Structure 1
Amino acid sequence: MKRLNVIGCGRVGQTIARLLFEKKQITLQDLHSRNLSNAEKAASFLGAGHPTPNLADMRSAEVWMLSVPDSQVAHVAQQLADTLSPDAPPAIAFHCSGFLSAQALAPLHAKGWYVASVHPVLNFAAPETGIRQFAGTPCALEGSALAVDWLRTHLSAIGGVCFDIDSAHKALYHAAAVFASNFTGVLQGIAQDAWRSAGVSPEMVQTLNRALLTSTTDNLLALGPAQALTGPAARGDTAVVHAQAAVVEQWNPVAAQAYRALSELAVSLKQNGTTLLPP
């Protein structure tokens, strides 16, 4: 059984480490975070692992998980590479960024390590909920074949549904996830703000939001985006679209930009079955 070291003790890292440990896929060894108290809290949650204040003091391991913010992945990879002795055996290292490819771990790859990235497509609100929700989670993989194969085997064992993505297109892949998930919350926020500004009571705002979100989600899953799409833009009612955009402009100019752009995409989706506009 391989030893796992964890750098970065956030929600994603704790969830994956806990499941790998519970399912006896790894032996949990050292835990490092910029704030030692975070590593100590993680050790308590994981039920294993040794909080290590300095990255340079982490012991040798066969597998390393870098669960750190995107802006820190390359920096931490370089720090780790700088601590390695010349005779250190090659290991597997992976990060959990949805945007970055395994290329961010280039300093470790240059040392002969096998590098990869995994992006679990799940909203990790907290590790306590993450470990309950992880089963069935799609996990995007790319990188060195040996590292990807190891991840596929062991993530599948904890309930992940692994699939390969092209490293060259990972940024676009992640943008799709942002549209599918993150921007949904933004659109709901705009809608709720607009209802409140229109004088709708807080209680009714919640009722309206729940009714529309539930029915829209049901239709999307059953019919697909083009068939499920309704509204003035989908009907070709340009007069309403222009008039409504002007009203939104007075209320929230930035939201009006989104309204106009989304209306244009809605027309294309309804007419052509795609949001890809002709050049």
Structure 2
Amino acid sequence: MATLNLIGAGHVGRVLGRLLAAQGGFHVQQVLTRSAASARAAVDFIGSGAPAERYDQLQPADMHVLAVGDDQIASACAALAQAVPLKGSVVFHCSGALASGQLQAARDAGALVASVHPIRSFADPAAVAAQFSGTFCGVEGDAAALAVLTPALRAIGAQPVPIDASAKTVYHAAAVFASNYLVTVLDAALRAYMAAGITEPVARQMAQPLAAESMANVFRLGAAAALSGPIARGDMVTVERQQRAVDQWDAPTGDLYRALVAPTADLARRKRLK
């Protein structure tokens, strides 16, 4: 059975450690975190392995998972490369924003490097571990590393998706658009309803079918085909009237409305070309 060491054991690291041990064909050897207590808690969650307190206590392994914060990846990799023989092993991190180039110290030490970014929320690790099947993972890195990681990820139910390492930050921004900024735009819609005298609970009920149907159409038909409303119809008179009204009501929200006009107009042009 292939061996694995886990460096950093937050929610993502714990879930991957448990799944790779239970279904991925790996024996978890050691777990290294900032404190012995957190390492022991991670070992208990994973169900195997032993806590380690220092890098020089780590044994050589077939795979090393760096499940640390983005700002710690390079330094953790350097410490690992200095303390443990890495030639021929696979080292990967779990950042959505940073590429495998952050692991140059491991590559220089003879390791194969990659990044694996599971695309989901890990707020409840136990629930995620139980329902991980179908989770998309953006992967990039050395071909030989991906040749090892891809079947291991599929074994735990993941769907690996190769991505361009040079566009890793743009890739990560996609999740911000699809999740965080979507919430911001919906907040603007709710506040606009409330400005018209509608209570917030009713505003949510009014916005929900519009938002839900629009999102369903995007995922069923594509964004261009799903677009509706005044810009899609070419009714720029209405758009300009709305812009003035929103500016007068709330200037920051007016700025948001204005910023969305041009990309929406471009989307409408793409719709007409289809």
Tell me, yes or no, whether TM beats 0.5.
yes
Choose which of 123, 126, 130 in structure 2 pairs with 1:128. 126
How far off its partner does 1:197 sit?
4.4
Structural mapping, 1:58-97, within 5 Å: 58-84=58-84, 89-97=87-95
What letter corresponds to residue 108 of structure 1 in structure 2? A
1:221 to 219, 230, 242: 219
Residue aligning to 2:177: 179
CA distance in 1, matches of 2:49, 2:184: 38
Preserved CA contact (<8 Å) 2:134 2:159: yes
Equivalent position of 1:2 in the other structure: 2
CA contact (8 A) 1:66 1:93 kept: yes
| 2-11 or 229-238: bigger deviation | 229-238
Query: What are the superposed Cα offsets for residues 18-60 of structure 1, whole Å, 9 maximum, x if unpaired?
Result: 1111215211121122244333322222222222232332222
- Note the 1:138-157 alignment, pairs <5 A: 138-157=136-155
TM-score with structure 1 length normalisation?
0.88
Q: Is it true that 1:202 corresponds to 2:190 in the alignment? A: no
CA shift, 1:187, in A, is 2.1
Which residue number in structure 2 is paired with residue 107 of structure 1? 105
In structure 1, how many angstroms separate the alpha carbons of the residues matched to 2:199 and 2:88? 61
Aligned to 1:160: 158
* Shift in CA distance, 202/55, structure 1 to aligned 2, threshold 3 Å: farther
Establish whether residue 261 from structure 1 lines up as the match of residue 259 from structure 2. Answer: yes
SS in 2 for 1:191: helix
Cα distance between partner residues in 2 of 1:78 and 1:254: 44
Give the aligned partner of residue 230 of structure 1.
228
Please report how far the alpha carbon of residue 126 of structure 1 lies from its aligned counterpart in structure 2 after TM superposition. 2.0
The answer to whether the Cα contact below 8 Å between 1:90 and 1:111 also exists between their aligned partners in 2 is: no
Deviation of 1:273 after TM superposition, in Å, equals 4.0
* Cα RMSD, aligned residues only: 2.2
Tell me how far apart the structure 2 counterparts of residues 79 and 161 of structure 1 sit (CA, whole Å): 31
CA contact (8 A) 2:122 2:128 kept: yes
Contact 2:24–2:155, Cα closer than 8 Å, also in 1: no
CA shift in 2, pair 1:55/1:196, >3 Å: farther
For structure 2, the 5+ residue unaligned runs are none
Cα distance per residue 1:193-212 (max 9 Å; x no partner): 44344432232133124322
> Hey, what's the Cα distance between the residues in 2 that align with 1:93 and 1:157?
18
- For the 8 Å contact 1:233–1:264, the answer to whether it is kept is no
Equivalence for 1:277: none
**Contact conserved, 2:39 with 2:51, CA < 8 A, in 1?**
yes
Distance 1:224 1:42, change over 3 A: same
How many Å apart are 1:138 and its aligned residue?
1.8
TM (normalized to structure 2)?
0.89
CA shift, 1:268, in A, is 0.9
C-alpha deviations, 1:119-146, integer Å up to 9, x for none? 2222323212212332112222211112
Which residue of 181, 187, 205 corresponds with 1:189? 187
Report the CA distance shift for 1:191/1:124 in structure 2 as closer, same or farther (over 3 A): farther
* Unmatched tracts of structure 1, length 5 or more: 275-279
Compute the displacement of 1:115 (Å). Answer: 0.4
Give me the whole-angstrom Cα distance separating, in 2, the residues matched to 1:154 and 1:76.
23
For residues 248 and 18 of structure 1, do their structure 2 counterparts lie closer, same or farther at Cα, with a shift above 3 Å needed? farther
Q: Residue 7 of structure 1 aligns to which amino acid in structure 2? A: I
Q: Deviations over 1:124-176 (max 9, x none)?
A: 23212212332112222211112111110100111111222222222222222
Q: Secondary structure at the match of 1:27?
A: strand
Q: Closer, same or farther in 2 for the Cα pair 1:268/1:58, shift >3 Å?
A: same
Report the count of equivalent residues: 272
Relative to structure 1, is the Cα distance of residues 41 and 199 closer, same or farther in structure 2, using a 3 angstrom cutoff?
Answer: farther
Go from structure 1 to structure 2 and tell me whether the alpha carbon gap of 1:232 and 1:153 turns closer, same or farther (over 3 Å shift): same
Partners of 1:36 and 1:245 in 2: how far apart? 57
